């Protein structure tokens, strides 16, 4: 039996997508997504912990991210974990673990002060699935 490598996140973009274009017109966008959890500490105080996730989108999903996403937007991402290593110009080896996005849904824009804690996704989600896009 083979293993399962699946990641699902709902969070907010910490910055605008960073898109790079390669020879042949291939696009790659990098997203920085924050997810938060609330837990009580030993003293019973509610604490919030935020994790940051690096997400890489390719081709049509990258183009969609570049055109439609911005800092603060709420997003659902489905994909898989991938690790990679490289050497910099001085020979130092680096390692990164990132999520390769295979599906995204735009859940709404940034929260505004007048919205308070309400979700700004009144228009509903906008699913984008890499498998449904022509390649």
Is 67 a member of any domain?
yes
Exposed / middle / buried, residue 2 (Cβ in 10 Å: 0-12, 13-18, 19+): exposed
Is 129 a member of any domain?
no
Q: In the structure, what pLDDT confidence band is assigned to residue 130 with cuts at 50, 70 and 90?
A: low
Is 29 a member of any domain?
yes
- What's residue 48's pLDDT? 92
Tally of domains within the chain? 1
- What's residue 111's pLDDT? 67
**Is residue 121 predicted with pLDDT exceeding 50?**
no
pLDDT tens digits along 107-118 = 987 766 554 444
Question: By three-state DSSP, how is residue 14 classified?
Answer: coil
Is 16 a member of any domain?
yes
Is 87 a member of any domain?
no
Quick one: tokens of 39? 């837990």
Is 66 a member of any domain?
yes
Q: In the structure, what pLDDT confidence band is assigned to residue 119 with cuts at 50, 70 and 90?
A: very low
Is 115 a member of any domain?
no
What residues make up the domain containing 16?
A: 11-38+47-82
Please say whether the beta carbons of 32 and 54 come within 8 A.
yes
Quick one: tokens of 23? 């020879």
Is 15 a member of any domain?
yes
pLDDT tens digits along 54-101 = 999 999 999 999 999 999 999 999 999 999 999 999 999 999 999 999
CATH of the domain at 27: 2.40.50.140
- What's residue 57's pLDDT? 97
pTM over 0.85: no
Please give the C-alpha separations between residue 17 and each of 39, 63, 123, 132, in angstroms, as whole numbers: 30, 10, 22, 22
């Amino acid at each position: 039996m083979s293993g399962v490598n699946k990641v699902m996140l709902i969070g907010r973009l910490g910055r605008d997508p960073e898109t790079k274009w390669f020879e042949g017109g291939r696009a790659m966008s990098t997203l920085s997504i924050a997810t938060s959890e609330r837990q009580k500490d030993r003293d019973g105080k509610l604490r919030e912990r935020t994790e940051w996730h690096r997400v890489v989108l390719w081709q049509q999903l990258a183009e969609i991210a570049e055109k439609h996403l911005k800092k603060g937007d709420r997003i659902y991402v489905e994909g898989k974990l991938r690790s990679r290593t490289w050497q910099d110009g001085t020979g130092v080896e680096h390692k990164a673990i990132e999520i390769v996005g295979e599906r995204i849904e735009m859940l709404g824009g940034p929260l505004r002060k007048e919205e308070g804690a309400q979700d700004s996704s009144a228009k509903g989600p906008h699913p984008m699935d890499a498998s449904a896009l022509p390649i």
